[in-house]
Amino acid sequence: MKTVFSLFKNTSAIQNAVYFSPGEECLTAILECIHAATSSLKICVFTISDDRITNALLLAHRKGVKIQLLTDNEKLFDKGSDIRQLAQAGLKVKVDNTSNHMHHKFAIIDHTHVLTGSYNWTRSAALYNHENVLVTSDAHVVASYAEEFNRLWEEMSFYK
């Protein structure tokens, strides 16, 4: 799907769509969803190592968007991981405390949209990998992802 991207001003402008990589489509969809958030972002991702995503999250946080981030405990220490930087900036970050990987990749934007797919929030995903992102406002899908996020949020431990 080739799309001309423009930053959404709020979640009502987010389009239900599918995006593919390699290339910038998936990254742009993620950035637009982050920029569109006006009240909350619930993010559940294996890791974040793409500085463009990190910078967008920091900007949203400074604008007052409530951000909750769930991530894998082992990926915190990978070279290039931005999770510790986000936690130090004041984002609420929780990590799994199991020997298994928290391998989800989804975000809930303002309780109205879900962004999900195989796309890792890393620079190499945009450059090399064949991955995908789906954005939907389907209320049933949003509610299901919110239920899973809330369940995991209760299970996981705050990163300190």
Which residues are known to be catalytic?
103, 105, 110
Q: Which residue matches tokens 């894998």?
A: 72
Strand order in the sheet with 131-136: 17-21, 131-136, 113-116, 105-109, 40-45, 66-71, 92-95, 157-158
State the pairing for strand pair 66-71/40-45: parallel
Question: Which 3 state secondary structure label does DSSP give 139?
Answer: helix
